[in-house]
Structure 1
Amino acid sequence: MKPLRIHWCLPRGRGNTRASEKDIATELDLEGMIAFSQEAETLGVDSLLMGIGFHLPDPLPLLGALAGETTRVKFLLAYRPGLLSPTLFSQVVNTVSWIADKRISLNIVAGISPEEQAYYGDFLPHDDRYRRADEFMSLLHRFWQGESPISCDGDFYKLEGARLSLPFKGGGRPEIYISGASEIAQQAAVQWGDCWLRYGDTPEGIARASASVRASGRRIGVRMHVLARATREAALAEITAMMANPDEQHRLGVKEFVARCDSVSVKESFRLAASADNDWLSPTLWSGAVAYRGGPALCVVGSYDEVAQYLMAYKRAGVDEFIFSGWPTRAEMHEFYKHVHPRIRALEAQEERAHAEAST
Structure 2
Amino acid sequence: MTLHITGMIWARPTSDLEPPSGAAFQPDFIEAITRAHEEGGFDRVLAGYWTNAADGFLVLAHAAAVAKKINFLIAHRPGFVSPTLAARKLATLENLTGGRLALHVISGGDDPDQRKDGDYADHAARYRRTDEFLEIIRNIWTADRPISHEGEFYRFQDAWSDVRPLQTPHLPIFFGGASDVALRVAGRHADVYALFGEPLADTAAMLNRVRAAVPAGREVAFSWSNRPIIAATEKQAWEKAHDIRERAIAKQALAGGAGLIAASGAVNSQRLVGLSQRGEVLDERLWTAMAGLLGGRGNSTAMVGTAEQVARAMLRYRAHGVSHYILRGWDPLPDTVQYGRELIPLLRELADTEDRGRVSVAVRTAAE
TM-score computed with the length of structure 2 as normaliser? 0.90
Residue in 2 aligned with 1:52?
Answer: 49
Residue 282 (str. 1) matches residue 283 (str. 2): yes
Question: 2: distance between equivalents of 1:253 and 1:92?
Answer: 41
Equivalent residues of 1:179, 1:197 under 8 A apart? yes
* Structure 2: gaps spanning 5 or more residues: none
Residue in 1 aligned with 2:139?
Answer: 142
Go from structure 1 to structure 2 and tell me whether the alpha carbon gap of 1:340 and 1:234 turns closer, same or farther (over 3 Å shift): same
Of the structure 1 ranges 287-296 and 40-49, higher mean CA displacement relative to structure 2 is found in: 287-296
SS where residue 89 of structure 2 aligns?
A: helix
Cα deviation 1:42-101 (Å, max 9, x = unaligned): 122111111101132120121112111110111110001101001100110111122111
Equivalent residues of 2:17, 2:330 under 8 A apart? no
Question: 2: distance between equivalents of 1:314 and 1:22?
Answer: 34
Residue 291 (str. 1) matches residue 292 (str. 2): yes
**Aligned partner of 2:227: which letter?**
H
- Count of aligned residue pairs for this structure pair: 352
SS where residue 157 of structure 2 aligns?
A: strand
- Please tell me the root mean square deviation across aligned C-alpha atoms, in Å: 2.1
Alignment of 1:50-199 (within 5 A): 50-169=47-166, 171-199=168-196
Question: 2: distance between equivalents of 1:350 and 1:66?
Answer: 33
Residue in 2 aligned with 1:6?
Answer: 5
Go from structure 1 to structure 2 and tell me whether the alpha carbon gap of 1:341 and 1:214 turns closer, same or farther (over 3 Å shift): farther
* Structure 1: gaps spanning 5 or more residues: none
Equivalent residues of 1:186, 1:196 under 8 A apart? no
Aligned partner of 2:269 among 260, 266, 269: 266
Question: 1: distance between equivalents of 2:71 and 2:293?
Answer: 29
The alpha carbon displacement at 1:349 in A equals 2.4
Equivalent residues of 1:200, 1:295 under 8 A apart? no
TM-score computed with the length of structure 1 as normaliser? 0.91
Question: 2: distance between equivalents of 1:299 and 1:171?
Answer: 35
Question: 2: distance between equivalents of 1:238 and 1:262?
Answer: 30
**Aligned partner of 1:282: which letter?**
D
Question: 2: distance between equivalents of 1:12 and 1:299?
Answer: 24
The alpha carbon displacement at 1:147 in A equals 4.0
Equivalent residues of 2:46, 2:74 under 8 A apart? yes
Residue in 1 aligned with 2:354?
Answer: 351
The alpha carbon displacement at 1:161 in A equals 1.1
Identity of aligned residues (%): 23
Residue 341 (str. 1) matches residue 344 (str. 2): yes
Cα deviation 1:6-42 (Å, max 9, x = unaligned): 1011134246x3x444569962222111111012111
SS where residue 320 of structure 1 aligns?
A: strand
Of the structure 1 ranges 184-193 and 245-254, higher mean CA displacement relative to structure 2 is found in: 245-254
Go from structure 1 to structure 2 and tell me whether the alpha carbon gap of 1:160 and 1:129 turns closer, same or farther (over 3 Å shift): same
**Aligned partner of 1:222: which letter?**
W
Aligned partner of 1:325 among 292, 312, 328: 328
